[in-house]
Structure 1
Amino acid sequence: MPDADPNAGTPFAPAIDAHVHVFPERLAEAVQRALTTAAGWEFPHRPIREATEATLADAGVERYVALPYVHEPGGARSLNAWLAEQAGDSERLLPFATVHPDDEDVGGIVRDAFEAGARGLKFHCPVQECAPADPRIEPALEAAAEYDRPITYHGGTAPMYTEDPHVGAAAFAEVVDSYPDVRVNCAHMGTYQVSAFLAMAREHDNVYLDTTFAMSTEAGRTMEFDPSTIGDEVLIELSESIMFGSDLPNIPYPYRAERAELLGRDLPTETYRDVFYRTAEAFLGVA
């Protein structure tokens, strides 16, 4: 069932959710089981597209970005094609594509996905064991530059990757420096190296951050991060670089918790419009 949303009609809506996951049902259930095993989380949201879209529609989300990723080589083409089919049946879904760094023809897989309608590219660096500028995915990054498509990375160390060599601000800076014309987003506000990622967003127009998990009212419980450490002045200053995201359906709390902390700040209307809508449009290159 969708959330009963007390925030409907607030500055949140209409919104774009820049960080949602849509997988085939069996794979989606396996992802949630793995997260339950790793973190002890239980999920109130069913991991199927129809249930996800009902929750989003109830909250006032007009469009959302569906982010795929593959754990092993050989599965990206079929997952990208499946997600493109899902987008054809949805008025809200904006599909991204993925590729595994050990796939054959990394560039070809990504180009085919872009030709089929994918709006961007997703890498989960710790799961796929690749740095943001890993030489194995250079053909994918070059395709993103050629097609003017953005890239979303799980590039930060939260919530369980503080010792992972593939993530962190230094690794992310390599892709920013190497591909200055590609719009790149580090999910989860770059936690736990927020200050370094905010500095990158200040310095580079192509660097974006999404609020997923990090700005939730549940952030302290789920990832030991206090969203109040990111002050109102930062959100106002960088509203054109920060966009709302949720990780739905893989969140161990109600969907409304993702924006309740932000809505409780009484930010300027223009800041809310950026964070909840316009910044995602700029990142995606859509209107």
Structure 2
Amino acid sequence: MLTIDFHVHCFAPKIAEKAITQLKDRADIEPLTDGFIETTEARLDEWGIDRGVLLSVATRPSQVKVINDWCAENNGGRFISFGTVHPDTEDIPGELDRIVSLGLRGIKLHPDYQGFMVDEDRVDLLYDEIERRGLPVVLHAGFDVFSPSKIHCPPEAALRMLKKHPHLKVILAHLGGNDCHQQVHEILAGVDGEVYFDTAFTGRYLPDSLMEKIIRKHGADRILFASDIPWDSPFEIKKKIMRLRISDDDKEKIFSGNAARLLGGI
């Protein structure tokens, strides 16, 4: 069965070691890779993962162009790269046009690292411009150790944003909200629109029963297999999905079919 991991993190060689160390110390989690492209590709072989969607985040506007250039260099072959834009980027339309011209397949935003609430009015322009270009956007959703006292994309705020932008192609990472899954099931699952949940970082803490309930309510055709490499194991999450009481057809959609449809081919 073809398997596409929709949530993979790697870093440019000159910052990989520092980035992994800082994130490891902050989260108190042992990483499963060293953050380098080559090592991650080798681990994908070990885990039986065919393709990975490479996600990078600009924490400052000054990083946007450099990160997007690096993502473009690593787009194709084993990896499908998304670009990034900071909400305070000076020329948002221009950079999004450049992202399209570089062949990047979507956008990654991280409200916690980029300092915005997911439903803030000041981000509406960015969402509108992303939608205008038909790009999917991956949003970190739910708790993050970077901002433990304030969740920047809780389910209720995500729902408000989705109602303002009903035609935006959105992937809410971590099955709609890391460490907020009961709320996700109650108020987000089943929402109208091209709204996907990815399964990143669900291997350790999310009970199978609750995962199954969310998938059934939201629809398996809007769930994307993902791990959050290097912070969770795609092998373990794949085993988790395989043991859920959903059909083989739904599992195939989750592992690759939905991703291929969303991306317009792989």
With structure 2 as the length reference, what TM-score do the two structures score?
A: 0.89
1:193 aligns with 2:180: yes
Q: Where does residue 150 of structure 1 map in the other structure?
A: 136
CA RMSD between the two structures: 2.2
* Structure 2 equivalent of residue 49 of structure 1: 37
Find the residue that maps to 1:75 and give its secondary structure.
helix
**Where do 5+ consecutive residues of structure 1 fail to align?**
1-12, 220-224
The answer to whether the Cα contact below 8 Å between 2:85 and 2:95 also exists between their aligned partners in 1 is: yes
Residue 187 of structure 1: how far off its partner (Å):
0.8
The aligned counterpart of 2:123 is 137
How far apart in 1 are the matches of 2:156 and 2:172?
A: 12
How far has the Cα of 1:165 moved from its partner? 5.0
Residue 247 in 1 paired to residue 228 in 2?
A: yes
The residue number in structure 2 matching 1:273 is 252
Query: Separation in 2 of the partners of 1:226 and 1:95?
Result: 27
Could you say which residue in structure 1 is the equivalent of 2:265?
286
Alignment of 1:30-179 (within 5 A): 30-87=18-75, 90-158=76-144, 161=147, 163-164=149-150, 166-179=152-165
Report the CA distance shift for 1:48/1:73 in structure 2 as closer, same or farther (over 3 A).
same
Aligned length: 263
Report whether the alignment pairs 1:256 with 2:235.
yes
Cα separation, partners in 2 of 1:142 and 1:226, compared to 1, 3 Å: closer
The one-letter code sitting in structure 1 at the alignment partner of 2:33 is H
Indicate if the aligned counterparts of 1:19 and 1:245 stay in contact, CA closer than 8 A.
yes
Range that drifts further, 122-131 or 186-195: 186-195
Match for 1:194: what amino acid? H
Determine if contact 2:189/2:214 at 8 Å carries over to the other structure.
Answer: no
Q: Kindly state the Cα deviation for residue 271 of structure 1 after the two structures are TM-superposed.
A: 1.6
Deviation at 1:162, TM superposition (A): 5.2
Identify the residue that residue 228 of structure 1 maps to in structure 2.
208
TM-score (structure 1 length as normaliser): 0.83
TM superposition shift of 1:71: 1.6
* CA distance 1:68–1:213, shift in 2 (3 Å): same
Alignment partners' CA distance in 1, 2:64 and 2:51: 23
Residue type matched to 1:239 in 2? A
Task: Report the alpha carbon displacement of residue 151 of structure 1 after superposing the two structures with TM.
Answer: 0.6
Task: Give the fraction of aligned pairs with identical amino acids, expressed as a percent.
Answer: 26
Deviation at 1:29, TM superposition (A): 2.2
- List structure 1 segments (4+ residues) > 4 angstroms apart after TM superposition: 158-162
**1:230 CA displacement:** 1.5
Q: Equivalent residue of 1:43, what SS? A: coil
Distance 1:255 1:233 in 2: 21
Aligned partners of 1:102 and 1:136 also within 8 Å: no
CA shift at 1:24, angstroms?
0.2
Report how far residue 133 of structure 1 moved.
3.7
How far, CA to CA, are the matches of 1:182 and 1:165 in structure 2? 22
